[in-house]
Each structure stands twice: as structure tokens, then as C-alpha cells.
A and B are shown apart, each in its own frame.
Chain A
Amino acid sequence: MKNVLAVFIVLATGLFVVLAWFQSGGGERRQMRSASTPEQAARFLLSEIQDRNFERAYEQLANRSDVDKKTFIREFNGSDGSLLTYASLETFDVWGLRTDAQEASVRARLHYTTAVGPLDDVRDIKLERRGETWKVLWPVNPTPKLPPQVIPVNYLRWDVINPRDGDDWGVQSVDSPQVRIISMNAISRPDSVVLVGEVVNEDSVPAYVNVGATLLDASGAELAQESSFDKISHTLLPKQVSPYRIDFPNLRLERVKKVRMDVKALLESASADPVIEISQQKIETDPLGKQVLSGQLVNESGQVVNIPHVIAAYYDSNGKVIWVSDGYVAQALLPQVPVPFAVDLPAEVAKNVHSYRVVVNHFNTTAQT
């Protein structure tokens, strides 16, 4: 009888540990490792990628001989300073599309956390049966190799000289560039108020631009104040137009009586490089059934663009801006290599879209000095 307490403590501790192990997904993980179904095999591969065990993920591929390991790792780890180099796979969902005796395909939605916000990617993954387990057949995408060539640099460039060393950027005793809001449209959304429009730099020098707005109620009291944040191209070259969007979450349009717009403009050093061509734009439905504006970007300069940011303005038949959407592109833009993009569009807006215009903003690791 003297040993009852000791035995109880040992057994209870063991029981608790086993219980918590199952609760925290230990059993599920063990089952997943068996890869006895296509979904389990895909989950196992993605969980290894999530844990950044790229070597072990590569080991799960059925067609290792066809897939270069470095290329495979680059697909998730990124390269050339792209957004994926600032990202990690946070969660994923996998569901089956088709399964027969030897082959199967599943769809995976990958949710990345990145330096600029969340990023979602949808992939269809093929698998084949190897004995009792399933293995992933990874698509073979050969990396485009461009021939050596010379690209002349003849773009315009503007520098700003500060009179005194040590002055803060923006402390300039000169007139601000002439910048004007050319359109503004207040839109009611189920859970927010959204202001969309466009702003133009009417000056002959580049401008740093930021658009802010304050919503006022009937009594003139301030309801909310927000800015365009990253839904604008902050650097505008002469005569350049940028869409902007300002979100006011948790607000109803009926409460808003007046909108006070505020556009700030400052002189800024800028260059017309890199030139990014936008082509094959079209509104379509993606595999998840959402409306998107898709297309491709081609970097026509000789330098790599690390993180492209696409901002699209949508117009109705009267030429009025009815929506602005944006999205970051996961891949870097290598010179002359087309890269696809897609930005979301609410379904109820898509049916009223008559035309659209896309601008590309970018971040380069070397450009910030």
C-alpha cells in the first residue's frame, strides 16, 4: 500500500503526457508520416516544408531524378531577394481532387506569412503510388536561361540635393511638387468604408506622395482617420498617375457626412528605371472560384526587381474608379523573364468593371540608400 501514491503519480503522469501528445497532433503527425493516402503524402511534404526541412521534403518526391534539388528549394525559399525570401509557410490546407489505383491529384492552399503581409498560393499536386505509400510528382519547370546581352541604360533620373548635411529627409525650403487628387469614390462594403481614386503628379519633378482621409459625421465630428498606406505608389514621376485606396474598417457609410482628403507631396530623388511591362491582362476566375485580374510582368531593365507590387484601378462604363486592388508578387523579376501575377477582385465589383489600369510599384534591396 505504501507504493500506491508513487505508482499513481507515475501512471497519471504517463497518461497525461500521452493524452496531450494526441491532443497536440502527435498521433495525427505519426499517421501523416505513413503517407498511406494521397492527402497524407501531400501533407507530409508540406509539413516538412513548413518546418524548413527542405532536404527531407525533397526526399518525399517520386521524381527526384528529374527535379533539381536547388530549384525545388528555391520554389519555397525564394531567390534573388524575392518576397519568398522574406516568407515562411505558416499553414496549409490539402484536399483531394482525383484518386485512382496508381495516380492521384490533390489541391493545396498554402498560406505564407511574409514581410509585407499574408500571401496565399494554390497548387495542384500530382502523386503516384509506390507500394503502400504515395509520393509526390513534382512538376519540372526548367529555369529560363537568357543569352548574354547588353541592355542600354537611358532612363531619366532626378536627384535632390539637400543644402545642409544632416537635415532630415523632407526638410526642404522649396515648394512642394504639384500633386492633385483626380478622383475619389466612397464605397460601402459589408464591414467597412473604402475610398478609392487616383492621384496625379502634375509637376515636372518626381514627388513623394501620400494620401490620407478623415471621415466626418453630420455634426462635423471626426469618425476615423486613415491613410493609403501601401495601396498607392508613393513615388510618382512627372505626370504619372497612381491609384490609391483607403480602408476604414468597422464603419458604415451611412454615418459619414463628409470626407476630408489630404494629399502630401514632397520632392524626391527618383528614376524611371526599372521599366516593367504589363501584358496579357484579363479578368478571370481562379481555381478557387474567385474573380481575379491576372496578367504577366516583364522586367525590361537589366537589373533584378526584388519585390514587385501590383496596384490595379477598375473603372465603370463612365470612367469612374469603382475599385482598387493590389497584390505582391512572390517571385523576383529577372530581366526579360515573364512572371505571372493575379490580384483579387470582389465578385460584385467584377460585373461592373468596364476597364482597368495596372501600375507596378517595387522594392529593391539595393535601391534604398
Chain B
Amino acid sequence: MLTFLSGGKQITVETSYLSRPVPLRFIVLLALAIHGPLLALQVPFTTSYDANFHVFFASHYAHHWFDPWNPKWFAGFSQTTYPPLSHQWIALLSYVFGLRMAYLLVQMTAVLLIPVSVYRYARLWVNERASSYASLFSVFLGALTFLVYSAGQLPTTLSAPLYLLAVPYFYDWSRSADVTALLKGLALTLTAGAVHHVTLLFGSILFAFPVLWLAIIDRGEERSSLAVAIRAVAFAILAGIGLGVVLLPYWLAIIRHPIRQMPIYHASRTNLLLNLDYLTNYFFVPYGMLLLAMPFLVWYGARNRRLRPLVLGFWITFLFGLGGTTPVPKWLLGRAFEILTFERFTLSAALMSLPIVGLLAERLVDRYRRTAVVGLALAALVTVILPMAWLALSPFTSSANLNVDPVDAFLNRDGHDRFRYLTLGFGNALSKVSTYTVANSVDGEYNSARLLPEFTHYGTAQLTSAKFFGTAGMEALRMMLRHANHYGLKYIFIHDSYYEPLVSFAGWKKVESYDNGSISTWSKEDVPPARPFPSDAMPTALEGLLWGTLPLGCSILAILFWFLIPDRARLRSDMLLSFPAPDREGALVSEVR
């Protein structure tokens, strides 16, 4: 500490880096240094489950911006069943960088937005230094690494920081009726919703309610809590109307065809305690060393009035992240429990825990100085490395890296694209096949868009992975093969000999093989060419126009607001500084030593 006189006033400043906030620019650069090389190496395309899926969606927008009807999967489906913004940004950037690089750029943007958004979110709850620590730790989050490199959930990882950026504006508007905050908050909320609906839907409850509670606590004596609540409701109504308009084709699609298909098994819905692999995948890996901080988080958070809403919000989100390990998600969600996957909630829970973890770090650093820094750095490193190590050790392997070029070459030559095709044993490489061929498939990777009875009557996900869904999966596959002539399904590509007996007994013949026989092509000769199927799920031209303009427009508006409208300095009450109690004596003693 350095004390000097300035203008007759004694001023004390911290000279030790350990007692000052970490600059946000440094944290962003650190995020770039950690995730930049991994993304430059295209790791999501070799290890993740969904990266190819998002590229496939983006590819459609790149070719048919205003026509969300995609004939390449399920004999035709509407892309209005999935919010488009992340895919549209990939499509837009792909005109310059190509699809894969564009995906990586959008994912990089999401990764860089995480620490910025966490910092701004944490500032609502804790002081600047603890917020900077929270932001720093967000770079190392296991859940983030898991979702980016293993799950490939780009929309979740992009939507979450956008929503976190919006939440402080919601606080400012609710607490102090700041109109610029309302505008910026709404623009960011609509943008987050246009990226990922599920994150927004649950975020609006799990993130926003604690912040609303905080706004009421922080309102000051001159404002009534009713006024704060009314403003919050006004925000919610405006956001609801905005989302209703921006995602209108999505709502229309859902109203026309509500999701009534048989529930599809997902490991994140099981009781994680009954399977060590699942427990590792959905609990240890996403949280990493954060688990050690959780007792502190609950204990200290619950003792402080301002942090109680955050602790409660974190707790409920944490319970959601546990899937079927507690009955709470099922009680609260009902049938929706069988539709959702719960790994995404681990990111939300981890993000919500960070402000208090930042406090813990601050106290530890104040008390143990360099020892604490080394310990925290090691914990952060273990947390970020664990998901990467799990990618190699996990029994769940992705097929994203499969070489599908010969399959695409076959489909794109000699008029083979006049027929539909099916892949078996390709896992998530199916999306890669579909992106680069003009032929259409009866299968697909997006469960919510499926309308064919061969899918909806059985509790199975994509047919290419039918065997992993047991009898339900194989029955769905049998049903699809039975109706091959109806769908013009002539070609089957097999990357897992498990499927060969069924295909052979059903009358297909092996005609070609590639990669030393690891992929084989099977053909059935009495299949007529595929014909398009008229569907009432096909969006109208107006819906296509709205879908092609409003979501992207929202994001551009949010960017403009961000840069053009300066934030007003947030008035903060003294009570914000009262926890944790600054240990000034301790710091002085420490400095004297």
C-alpha cells in the first residue's frame, strides 16, 4: 500500500497486484490465449457432438437465406424450429471465411464474451476485485470447455453471455428506471433469445429472478419495491412481445406441431449416482474444482442478505444440472423433463457461482497471498484441463472426425442424388455428410423437427445411432427400412457392421466400400426416385422473410446500442461494500511483514 498527500488529502492506493482487480482486457486476452489455439486447431470439429450439426444449419442459411425449409433431413423439415442467429452469423461470415472457420469465429466470440459478461454480472453482487476474479475464473470453467469441445453447444455458449450482459441492464432499469438500460437490455435479451430459446427461457427465471430480488433489496428508501417489480414486469412484457415477433415463425411452427413424440433417452436425465461415467461426464467434468468452493459458496452466500437471491438461484440451477439425481427438475418441468437435456444447466450454475467464488478468491489472496494465487491457479488449470482429458478418456466418443468425403462423392455423382440416403454408425458425422452433398436423407440430427411417424412413434434419436437406443432405436430403423420405397431411400452407408445383418435381410446389397472397408455403400434396386413430400410445416414466404431479417437485425441493433449508447454509472449503495468486510488490519499487517 502507498499513502500520499494530494491536495492536502491523504490517499491510500494498493501497489500490490494481488490486492487490485485483474484488468478485464488481460482476462479477455487470457481467454484468447487459452481457447484461441484450441479453436484454431478446429478441436470442436474433431471431438464435439454438435459442431457439425450447427455448420449444417448454417450451410442451409448460406444457400437459402430466406427459405428455412430444408429438404436434406427427415424428407424435409423447417429450420424455424431452432432459433437461427448463431447459424446466420456463421452463414454470413462463411461468405468470407468458409463454413468451418466461420463457426470457429462465432464460437471464439462466445468464449470471449463469457468473461466480459461474467464481470458485468458479478459487479451486481460483489466488488470490483472479486468480480474481476470471477471473470478470470470464467475463462477456466470446466462447463464451458465441456460445452465447447465435447458437446459443441455453440448456441448455449453464445446465448448465456448475451443474456448475462442483458441482466445488469434489467437490474438498472428495474431499480432506477434507466431508459437506456431498458433499450440495451431488451436488445441483448432479444439477441440472446434469437440465439437459443432454451437458455433464454430458463435464464429468464434462473438468472433474472435473483437479480430482480436484488434490485428490490438495493432500491433504496426513496423507491418502493412495487415500482421495481412493476418495471421488471414491464421489461418482461416488452421482452416477451419482442421475442414473440422476432421468433414468430418459431412459435408458429411449435403451435402447428407441438412436440409430442416419444421421449428420447438422454444420459443427463438419469440418476448420475448410479453410473460413474455419467457422474464424471455431467458432474465432475463440468464443475471441476468449483466443487471444492461450493460449501463456502452456500455458507457465506446464505449468511449475506444481498447474496441470498444468488445462492438460491444457483442452488436451483445446480439441482437442474444434476438431471435425474434429484426429483426437483421432474417436479418443476413435468413432461418437459423428458425433452430437455440437462448438461447445459451446469454452465448456468457455474456462471452463477462465480461472483461468490470471486469473493472466496479475494479472501484467500488477502490472507495467503502468493500461496493462494498458486493454489487458485492450479485449481483453475485442473478445472480447464479435466474436460480436455476426459475427451480422451471418456467412453463416449464422437464420430465427428470421420472422413465422409467418399460418401459425399458417391452421392454427388451419376444422379445418385435422385434418391434419398441413410447413414448407419456415422454418429454426428451425419451432419458433415449432409452439409456437403446435394442428396437428401430420411434421417437427421435435430429431434425436435421430426414429423415422420417412423421417428415420432419410437423413443429414438437419429437412426444413424439407432443401436444405442436399444429396441426402440432398432424398431424405428426397421420401420424406416420397410418404407424405403415410399421415401425413395435407396442408398445406405454403413460405418458399423452391427447394422449389416438387418440391411442384408431387408434386401440391400453391398456395392462399394471405402477407407479399407470401414465404410460400405448398400443399394436396393427396386426403389423409385425420391419425391418431395408436401408438408403443413413448410414456412410461408413471409415467415422466411421475417426469419431472415429480424433475428440478425436484433443482433446488429444490440451491437450498435452497445457501442453508441454509453452506460450510466451505476449508483451503488454502501451495503454492497459491507460484504465481505474489508480486512484492512490484516492487509496492513501483511504489508508490514
Q: Interface of A with B (CB < 8 Å)?
A: 2-6, 9-10, 13, 16-17, 19-21, 23-26, 29, 83, 86, 88, 90, 111, 113-118, 168-170, 208, 210, 212, 225-227, 229-230, 234, 264, 266, 306-307, 309, 361, 363, 365, 368-369
Beta-carbon contact of A86 and B471 below 8 Å: no
In the complex with contacts A17-B325, A20-B271, A170-B523, A116-B505 CB distance below 8 A:
yes
A259 → chain B, closest Cβ, in Å? 16
Give Cα A25–Cα B275 distance, bound, in whole angstroms. Answer: 12
In the complex with contacts A20-B326, A24-B270, A24-B274, A113-B470 CB distance below 8 A:
yes
Select one of B270, B303, B498 contacting A3, CB under 8 A.
Answer: B303
The number of residues on chain B lying at the interface, defined by a beta carbon within 8 Å of a beta carbon of chain A, is 50
Beta-carbon contact of B326 and A227 below 8 Å: no
CB-CB under 8 A from B523, the residues of chain A are: 168-170
From B328, B498, B506, residue with most partner A Cβ within 10 Å: B506
Give Cα A170–Cα B414 distance, bound, in whole angstroms. Answer: 15
15 contacts between A and B (CB under 8 A): A2-B303, A6-B298, A6-B299, A9-B312, A16-B319, A21-B271, A113-B470, A115-B501, A116-B501, A116-B502, A169-B509, A170-B525, A227-B482, A264-B525, A363-B500
In the complex with contacts A19-B327, A90-B471, A227-B501 CB distance below 8 A:
no
From A3, A10, A86, A227, residue with most partner B Cβ within 10 Å: A227
- Interfacial residues of chain B within 308-336, with CB under 8 A of chain A in the complex: 308, 311-312, 315, 319, 324-328
CB-CB under 8 A from A2, the residues of chain B are: 302-303
Beta-carbon contact of B475 and A234 below 8 Å: no
In the complex with contacts A24-B274, A113-B470, A3-B326 CB distance below 8 A:
no
A171 → chain B, closest Cβ, in Å? 8
Give Cα A111–Cα B471 distance, bound, in whole angstroms. Answer: 9
In the complex with contacts A3-B302, A6-B303, A20-B324, A83-B501 CB distance below 8 A:
yes
Beta-carbon contact of B525 and A266 below 8 Å: yes
CB-CB under 8 A from B414, the residues of chain A are: 168
Beta-carbon contact of B526 and A264 below 8 Å: yes
CB-CB under 8 A from B475, the residues of chain A are: 117-118
Give Cα A90–Cα B471 distance, bound, in whole angstroms. Answer: 8
Q: Check: B549 CB closer than 8 A to any chain A CB.
A: no
Beta-carbon contact of B328 and A6 below 8 Å: no
Give Cα A2–Cα B311 distance, bound, in whole angstroms. Answer: 14
Q: Apart from A5-B311, A17-B326, A369-B510, what 9 extra A-B contacts exist at CB < 8 Å?
A: A2-B302, A6-B302, A24-B270, A116-B502, A118-B474, A168-B525, A170-B509, A229-B482, A266-B525
Per DSSP, chain A at the interface is mixed
Beta-carbon contact of A5 and B302 below 8 Å: yes
- Interfacial residues of chain B within 467-524, with CB under 8 A of chain A in the complex: 467, 470-471, 473-475, 478, 481-486, 497-502, 504-507, 509-511, 523-524
Q: Check: B378 CB closer than 8 A to any chain A CB.
A: no
Q: Check: B273 CB closer than 8 A to any chain A CB.
A: yes
Smallest Cβ-Cβ distance to A247: which chain B residue: B482
Beta-carbon contact of B505 and A19 below 8 Å: no
Beta-carbon contact of A368 and B500 below 8 Å: yes
In the complex with contacts A6-B299, A86-B498, A365-B500, A26-B510 CB distance below 8 A:
no
Beta-carbon contact of A212 and B485 below 8 Å: yes
Beta-carbon contact of A225 and B485 below 8 Å: yes
Give Cα A351–Cα B92 distance, bound, in whole angstroms. Answer: 69
From B270, B486, B500, B525, residue with most partner A Cβ within 10 Å: B525
Beta-carbon contact of B502 and A9 below 8 Å: no
CB-CB under 8 A from A210, the residues of chain B are: 507, 524, 526
From A2, A4, A230, residue with most partner B Cβ within 10 Å: A230
Beta-carbon contact of B507 and A24 below 8 Å: no
Give 7 closest A-B pairs by Cβ, nearest first: A170-B525, A16-B326, A5-B302, A264-B526, A6-B302, A24-B271, A230-B505
Smallest Cβ-Cβ distance to B472: which chain A residue: A113
Select one of B270, B483, B485, B507 contacting A234, CB under 8 A.
Answer: B507
Give Cα A80–Cα B497 distance, bound, in whole angstroms. Answer: 14
CB-CB under 8 A from A113, the residues of chain B are: 467, 470-471, 473-474
Give Cα A361–Cα B509 distance, bound, in whole angstroms. Answer: 15
Beta-carbon contact of A13 and B326 below 8 Å: yes
CB-CB under 8 A from A25, the residues of chain B are: 274
B209 → chain A, closest Cβ, in Å? 16
B516 → chain A, closest Cβ, in Å? 14
CB-CB under 8 A from B273, the residues of chain A are: 17, 21, 26
Beta-carbon contact of B315 and A230 below 8 Å: no
CB-CB under 8 A from B499, the residues of chain A are: 115
Smallest Cβ-Cβ distance to B525: which chain A residue: A170
Beta-carbon contact of A307 and B501 below 8 Å: yes
Give Cα A113–Cα B474 distance, bound, in whole angstroms. Answer: 8
Beta-carbon contact of A117 and B474 below 8 Å: yes
Beta-carbon contact of A225 and B271 below 8 Å: no
Give Cα A49–Cα B528 distance, bound, in whole angstroms. Answer: 44
Beta-carbon contact of A368 and B510 below 8 Å: yes
Smallest Cβ-Cβ distance to A19: which chain B residue: B327
CB-CB under 8 A from A212, the residues of chain B are: 485, 526
- Interfacial residues of chain B within 277-306, with CB under 8 A of chain A in the complex: 298-299, 301-303
